[in-house]
Amino acid sequence: MQVRRHQSLSGARAVVALWLAGAVVSGCRTPPVDHRPARGTLLVFSDLRGALKPCGCSPDLQRGGVDRIGDYVGVLRTGEPELPLLHAGDLLLDDEGIPAGREGQITRRVEALAEALRIIGVQAATLGPSDLAAGPAWVERSVKTLPLPLVGTNVGAPWSTFLKRSLVLRVDSLRVGVLAALPPAPGVTSPAEALRAEATVLRPQVDVIVALSSLGLRETKRLFRADLGIDVVVAAGQDLKAVVTDEVESAGTARLIQSHIQGSHVGRLELSVTAGAPVSLGWALQAILWDRPRHPDIAAVMKRYDADLEAINLKAAGTLPPLPAGAPSYVGQAKCLECHEQTQAFIAKDRHPLAWETLEKDGKTFDLECVSCHSTGYGQAGGSILGAMKGLVDVQCESCHGPGSRHADDGDTATIRRVVPESVCVTCHNPKHSTQFNYDTYRSRLLVPGHGR
Ligand code: HEC
Ligand code: HEC
Ligand code: HEC
Ligand code: HEC
């Protein structure tokens, strides 16, 4: 997006400034003041958190994904080819950061994300708390592949070597200054001072100043209680469960808009600037639902990524911890059914036996971000691990009742867990993947004739 001069508007502003100052312009005809608003539209999405696509584990997580964002933005740009797209919040990582053994997958994921963002066409982005937590060395390496400028206004060295303090975008007939407020981290400075100073520098060159905030809603509101000289702030970094509205609010002298995490929505921001008046805006969030088409080139990027995970993760999976002497191992459901045939009726209706098929349909059976909860005894002594799943795919009896080799030898009830406490369920049914989980209601669905009833 190129920055071009926009004479008429700055001309209008200058006239208004003279008029406000009471200056008498003598000897030349006063040009008429242009009261028509200058308008511009841009798109905003937030907190991709490195995911090419949200996991889809619960119905409310079945939205977003770079493939469908690409389709949506592409369709809009057939009518409005210059429509810019900005990203706020965590771009590369979520709060799990870079777990041991995942370095290879995450490096490859960032590469795929860069390819997808190039195809989508993103004009600017900022970083969020999880990105910053990975440290400047990792982030600098990772962002080298990204096809877009990154903005971070309140940073010192070494972040400032690869983050721009601000940038100016041409948005229809407007020049829009873009700033970004980053949350506290080593090398990050006070956002209030940095934003105010940068806004002062930018103001003469632009019509509107937009700040992308990765501070979350509450901290963003707190920050903007003071007048920072910014017109619009986008509050990213919300919780998964936050009730995100597309109502425009006031935060100090700025207008505040909210956005969803995991790129589940794309917002459309309509700006309208009349010389001498506050910026007026419209904001609408569009959910990116999974019934819309996928951008074919981005779908291909995702398919290559999934295929590459096999080699990357078979190498990274590691080995299981040794089984302590006398401790039970996982034997698999077929063994249990030899004596518990009556649970067959339960299995026939339960969803746990379909957990692996769910990953197969998605091409995700080598994805370390998925397999542990869609299989049995993953990473446990005597359990399963990529490359050695040995009949322990799907969520089987022993996921809930514990490893059962000793019990299966003689049917002794002292060596098996009958009651399955909530703490076992939530190793998988955590708030990030099972948003509706409630122990009592979910447990009651498992209790059928032949299984606990
Ligand atoms: C922390 C554990 C965990 C991880 C990691 C996980 N899942 Fe799940 N997944 C679950 C649970 C639990 C459910 C059932 C949620 C519910 O119904 O409340 C589920 C359900 C699903 C479903 C919905 C199945 C249906 O048709 O109803 C899909 C699809 C899915 N997961 C895909 C994935 C993919 C793809 C990944 C990796 C990107 C992944 N999961 C990672 C735990 C997990
Ligand atoms: C050799 C036969 C046999 C095998 C194999 C077997 N069980 Fe059992 N199991 C029994 C008997 C007998 C009981 C006690 C009577 C009952 O509750 O049905 C029992 C009880 C249980 C109980 C209830 C324990 C209690 O305190 O009431 C659970 C849970 C259980 N088995 C799970 C499993 C699982 C999981 C497997 C596979 C790893 C398995 N069983 C394999 C014979 C077996
Ligand atoms: C090892 C991981 C794991 C454990 C432990 C686990 N689940 Fe699940 N659960 C899943 C997955 C994965 C699915 C989704 C399977 C699919 O559809 O692909 C699921 C699905 C379900 C469903 C079906 C949801 C629906 O919308 O129909 C219920 C109910 C459920 N789990 C209850 C429980 C309860 C209660 C516990 C503890 C007693 C538990 N689960 C323990 C992984 C787990
Ligand atoms: C998703 C978790 C989960 C899975 C998977 C699961 N169970 Fe259970 N099971 C439970 C819960 C919960 C109870 C009820 C325990 C209680 O009494 O509080 C139970 C109860 C039982 C009981 C004792 C109740 C009775 O009817 O005598 C047996 C035996 C049992 N399960 C066997 C199995 C076997 C065999 C499998 C695999 C085919 C299996 N379970 C799979 C959660 C699970």
Same domain, 158 and 91: yes
CA distances from residue 86 to 47, 211, 297, 369 in whole angstroms, order as listed: 11, 11, 21, 27
Reported as a pLDDT band with limits 50, 70 and 90, residue 221 is: very high
Locate the DSSP E strands across 130-184.
Answer: 167-171, 174-181
Q: Which atom of ligand 3 is nearest to the CA of 359?
A: 18
Q: Which helix (H) or strand (E) holds 285?
A: strand 280-287
Q: Please, which contacts does 76-82 make with residues 24 or more away whose CB atoms are closer than 8 Å?
A: 76/43, 77/121, 80/41, 82/1, 82/170, 82/171, 82/172
- What tokens does 257 get? 């808009």
Go through 179-200 and write b for each residue having 16 or more CB atoms within 10 A of its CB, e for each that does not: bbbbbebeebbebbebbbebbe
Same domain, 218 and 334: no
Q: Give the model confidence (pLDDT) of 54-74 as tens digits.
A: 999 999 999 999 999 999 999
Res 13 pLDDT > 50: no
Instruction: Among 12-21, 219-228, 269-278, name the one with the lowest average pLDDT.
Output: 12-21
Say what angle helices 66-79 and 296-316 make with each other, to 10 degrees.
Answer: 160
Same domain, 148 and 239: yes
Position 374 in a domain? yes
Q: What is the CATH number of the domain that holds 47?
A: 3.60.21.10
Reported as a pLDDT band with limits 50, 70 and 90, residue 14 is: very low
Position 14 in a domain? no
Q: Give the model confidence (pLDDT) of 399-452 as tens digits.
A: 999 999 999 999 999 999 999 999 999 999 999 999 999 999 999 999 999 998
Q: What percent of the chain has pLDDT over 70?
A: 92
Contacts of 224 (CB under 8 A, 6+ apart): 230, 233, 251, 252, 253, 254, 256
What amino acid occupies position 19? Answer: W
Reported as a pLDDT band with limits 50, 70 and 90, residue 239 is: confident
Same domain, 356 and 283: no
3-state secondary structure 303-326: HHHHHHHHHHHHHHCCCCCCCCCC
Res 4 pLDDT > 80: no
From 355, 262, 258, select the one nearest 50 (Cα to Cα): 262
Quote the pLDDT of residue 20.
38
Number of domains in the chain: 2
Of the three residues 265, 287, 309, the one that is the final residue of a domain is: 287
- What tokens does 24 get? 């008498």
Contacts of 342 (CB under 8 A, 6+ apart): 450, 451
Position 261 in a domain? yes
Q: Are 206 and 72 a contacting pair, CB within 8 Å?
A: no
Quote the pLDDT of residue 431.
94
For the residues 214-238, what does the mean pLDDT come to?
Answer: 96
For the residues 73-95, what does the mean pLDDT come to?
Answer: 97
Task: Find the Cα–Cα–Cα–Cα dihedral 392, 397, 402, 406, rounded to 10°.
Answer: -80
Reported as a pLDDT band with limits 50, 70 and 90, residue 34 is: low
Same domain, 273 and 326: no
Position 453 in a domain? no
| Pairing mode, strands 85-88 and 38-46 | parallel
Of the three residues 236, 265, 287, the one that is the final residue of a domain is: 287
Q: Give the model confidence (pLDDT) of 340-388 as tens digits.
A: 999 999 999 999 999 999 999 999 999 999 999 999 999 999 999 999 9
Distance spanning both ends of the chain, measured CA to CA: 64
Same domain, 207 and 124: yes
Measured distance CA(62)–CA(57) in Å, rounded: 7
Quote the pLDDT of residue 31.
59
Same domain, 100 and 242: yes
Length of the chain equals: 453
Quote the pLDDT of residue 36.
80
Ligand 1 site, CB within 6 A: 55-58, 358-359, 362, 364, 367, 369-370, 372-374, 428-430, 433-434, 436-437
Q: Are 366 and 386 a contacting pair, CB within 8 Å?
A: yes
Position 293 in a domain? no
Q: Are 199 and 230 a contacting pair, CB within 8 Å?
A: yes
Locate the DSSP E strands across 205-262.
Answer: 208-213, 232-235, 249-251, 254-258
Q: From ligand 1's centre to the CA of 307, what distance in Å?
A: 20
Same domain, 356 and 415: yes
Q: Give the model confidence (pLDDT) of 144-170 as tens digits.
A: 999 999 999 999 999 999 999 999 999
Same domain, 245 and 352: no
Ligand 3 site, CB within 6 A: 351-352, 354-355, 358, 373-374, 395, 399-400, 420, 424-425, 427-429, 442-443, 445-446
Domain with 107, as residue range(s), is 36-287
Q: Give the model confidence (pLDDT) of 287-301 as tens digits.
A: 999 999 999 999 999
Res 135 pLDDT > 70: yes
Same domain, 373 and 274: no
- What tokens does 69 get? 């964002």
Q: From ligand 4's centre to the CA of 397, what distance in Å?
A: 7
Position 11 in a domain? no
DSSP-derived letter for residue 259 is -
For the residues 92-107, what does the mean pLDDT come to?
Answer: 96
Q: What is the CATH number of the domain that holds 415?
A: 1.10.1130.10
Reported as a pLDDT band with limits 50, 70 and 90, residue 333 is: very high
Q: Which helix (H) or strand (E) holds 362?
A: helix 355-362
The ligand with the least distance to the CA atom of 432 is: 1
Same domain, 103 and 151: yes
